[in-house]
Amino acid sequence: MIRVFIVDDQPLIRLGLRWILGAHSDIDVVGEAGDPHEAVLRMTQSRADVALCGFNRPDGEGLNLVQGLLQRDPKLRILIVSAVGDGPLPRRLLAAGALGYVSKSRDGAVVVRALREVAAGRRFIDDSLGGRLLFESSPFDRLSPRELEVARMLLEGRRNREIAAALRVSESTVRTLRARALGKLDVRGEGALVRLAFDHGLLGRDAKC
């Protein structure tokens, strides 16, 4: 069973998504929220496997939500369903840790297929967006989900011990993941990682480092 939490600022969209997902026996909608702040507060209690997040505006709201949700639960999978199909936002949300991106213009079958792929830990990019997103690819796309989690925590200033506790792995595993992530990104140390994250939208310009 895939446990899904829906985030969208439009009540009718949330209702429509509930109706679409409710028709499938392997999907259970365990909660919903109308804004990012509410979503972050309620998500932990829901024990969701996937957050299905809808966005309508090309601002920083989506980036903050993705980062906030993954900070609370690094194992959470995030699928974006958005009316924004161009510009830097899709690439930045994927770089921040979202595993999937679907246009709101697509039918329910595509959303369900994307949800199942993301729940299984696989990336899903809408066919209508794929060419542009690949063209605007980020070096963070090279990282595995676990390597991206470690990179994100390094950007938050966490030490190996803190990362190991959050991910429930050994410090030696964290050191291995850190080395792999920095190697794939072709950077040396956290300072270079921060600069790369700024350049590719993983950090907001007002972030402290």
What's the pLDDT band for 143 if we cut at 50, 70, 90? confident
What's the pLDDT band for 206 if we cut at 50, 70, 90? very low
pLDDT above 90 as % of the chain = 40
Could you count the other beta carbons within 10 Å of the beta carbon of residue 4? 24
Instruction: Note the pTM of the prediction, 2 decimals.
Output: 0.65
CATH class for the region spanning 2-135: alpha beta
**Cβ–Cβ < 8 Å for 86, 61:** no
Domains of the chain, residue spans:
2-135, 139-199
**Cβ–Cβ < 8 Å for 51, 98:** no
Looking at 3.40.50.300, 1.10.540.10, 3.40.50.2020, 1.10.10.10, the CATH number of the domain 139-199 comes to: 1.10.10.10
Report the candidate in 87, 94, 7 with the shortest Cα–Cα distance to residue 54: 7
> pLDDT tens digits, residue range 106-140?
889 999 999 999 999 998 988 766 555 544 567 88
The Cα–Cα gap between 107 and 95 comes to: 25
Report the candidate in 98, 196, 88, 188 with the shortest Cα–Cα distance to residue 149: 98
User: Span 38-44, mean pLDDT?
Assistant: 84
